[in-house]
Chain A
């Protein structure tokens, strides 16, 4: 069975600092990986996804993530945090076949301090 572990339920960074949100997955085969963002009282919005090909994936709002098969990781980064980045971030995994639903991590709440 697939699973996702997000290290740190809450991360706090200063405005302009590096953002690093950690995600490790468990899967018997290389999966598809996703990062979603959720703003208060909103649904989830896709930030970026890894399917095949280049392991460094660029997403919206300056975020990127690198798929590292050897480490079973898919950490999300952004070089310089902005106040508007404060939100909850979810890492998710999907099987290649798509016959199983998206499995989400517990989420990491990002706070940005002025």
Chain B
């Protein structure tokens, strides 16, 4: 079956712009989580969605937002981009939340560069 698909793979934006990243989970998976990966901070949790509702949110400013659609696809948006937002953004899908032993499957990520 198809894996987690993230688009685009690479993105270059200018400071102050906004950006939208997309994630299509594995078919049948209803939970989508987003992580930011940087060399200095490692993998940091952004948010988690299930059934179009945000279940958990990490410690990021309000410029970072997300949503989930009825087909479980998810988007995240970053407004007023800053240089420090340059990172690899990873999306992970799993069957459902509330199951701590459920494996999370990761996409290949979107590499965002802010100049």
Contact = CB atoms under 8 A, between A and B. Distances in A.
B103 A46 contact: yes
Interface stretch (B11-19, B60-68, B72-80, B93-101): B93-101
B87 to A, nearest CB: 13
A98 B99 contact: yes
Contacts, number: 64
B100 A41 contact: no
Contact of A44 (B90, B98, B102, B111): B90
Contact of B33 (A31, A46, A101, A105): A101
Contacts of B90: 43-44
Classify chain A: how many residues form its interface, as a range.
20 to 34
Given A95-B100, A101-B33, A42 B108 contact: yes
Nearest to B105: A46
A31 B106 contact: no
B56 interface: yes
A9 to B, nearest CB: 10
Given A43-B4, A44-B90, A102 B104 contact: yes
Interface of B: 4, 6, 33, 35, 42-43, 45, 48, 55-56, 58, 90, 92, 97-109, 111
